[in-house]
Amino acid sequence: MSNETDFPEIRESVRRLCADFPGAYWQALDRERAYPMDFVKTLTEAGFLSVLIPEEFGGSGMGLRAAAAILEEIHRSGCNGGACHAQMYTMGTLLRHGSVQQKERYLPGIASGELRLQAFGVTEPTSGTDTTRIRTFAKRKGDKYVVNGQKIWISRAEHSDLMILLARTTRREEASKPTDGMSVLLIDLREAVGKGLTIRPIRTMLNHATTELFFDDLEVPADNLVGEQDRGFRYIIDGMNAERILIASECIGDGRFFIDRATAYAKDRSVFGRAIGENQAVQFPIARAYVQLTAAAEMVAKAAALFDNGEPCGAEANMAKMLASEASWAAADMCVQTHGGFGFAEEYDIERKFRETRLYQVAPISTNLILSHVATHVLGLPKSF
């Protein structure tokens, strides 16, 4: 089972890389809401973003546990993988369900960084997290699909060459069940923007390059259909397990960042002639955060191991994401409290990381939906409304 001592060489390499991108780099980007181009380029050239792509397509094919270690160390170092983490796992839909021709055409470029596939078009304004109620529709017309609809909360669309899009190809009311009738299309954003696709940036609390997408008779070659028509929901769910495990690993990294910072500050900061860390009122919250995070890390490791072994891991992926996000948020709150007023100062990086880790209570799936999944799919309770 993976833990913070596994993949030591990878972790050390990531730490060295991140050392070249200190807090001042992220603070400047945060103020301007700019994309961390240099950071993403460096990660790509080091091969860290292609870790899940098989060697035959130019990646290292090391598995999800290695990817989790990379993202954990990025976040523990004070950096943020949100600008590029989807480059790691979004291609999983293509890898598992794409045709041989699609894999050969796109995966080598994704592995080298020549192509960026890090946009994932699922969420819509009227459906929220009830994916079966999406309305974006792709109508087959000869050798192409014509797409109309809208997506929201789509990160990195302006910084991606390709996008995985989930759209209905059969109306919900006409499908045999709600999860049928959806298909996955690979969208070439370089060709689509201005020709049926409009991207509108959304300014948010976080620097995640979030956008809203509008489709107006966008034509997509039928060859860009991934897998079979009307079976796309299954393909997307398959990729979501990887996403949730990797997001959970980022939360573990955030939590370790906060605990590291709080512990160091509690040792160094003196008030009334002694280190504040001598006070149990300061010690105990740090210790509690450490205990919570350690337990969450075990669930993340279990979920990653199940995924790499090809075993069912839906419940574990969801529980890992929930436990890790809650542990990191508790550690963030503790760290701010430990630093007092300094926790709000930009130069300490804590307020930035505090904002970043809060996101994971909501995205990519909210805590309440995870509890609903466990209640109905694991415990067999009736579906709640």
Active-site residues, by number, are: 243
Structure tokens at 218: 């966008």
Q: Give the span between the Cα atoms of 134 and 167, in whole angstroms.
A: 7
Using alpha carbons, select from 367, 114, 96 the residue that is nearest to residue 242. 96
In single-letter form, the type of residue at position 211 comes to T
What stretch of H or E contains 369? Answer: helix 367-373
Looking at residue 33, what DSSP letter applies? T
Q: Give the span between the Cα atoms of 30 and 350, in whole angstroms.
A: 13
Question: What's the residue count for the chain?
Answer: 385
The CA-atom distances, in angstroms, between 165 and each of 38, 106, 122, 264, 326 are 27, 16, 6, 45, 30
What stretch of H or E contains 244? Answer: helix 232-268
Structure tokens at 156: 């990195």
* 39 Cβ contact partners less than 8 Å away, ≥ 6 residues apart: 21, 25, 79, 83, 84
Looking at residue 128, what DSSP letter applies? B
Would you say the C-alpha torsion 319, 127, 146, 194 has a positive or negative sign? negative
The CA-atom distances, in angstroms, between 337 and each of 23, 127, 276 are 20, 37, 12
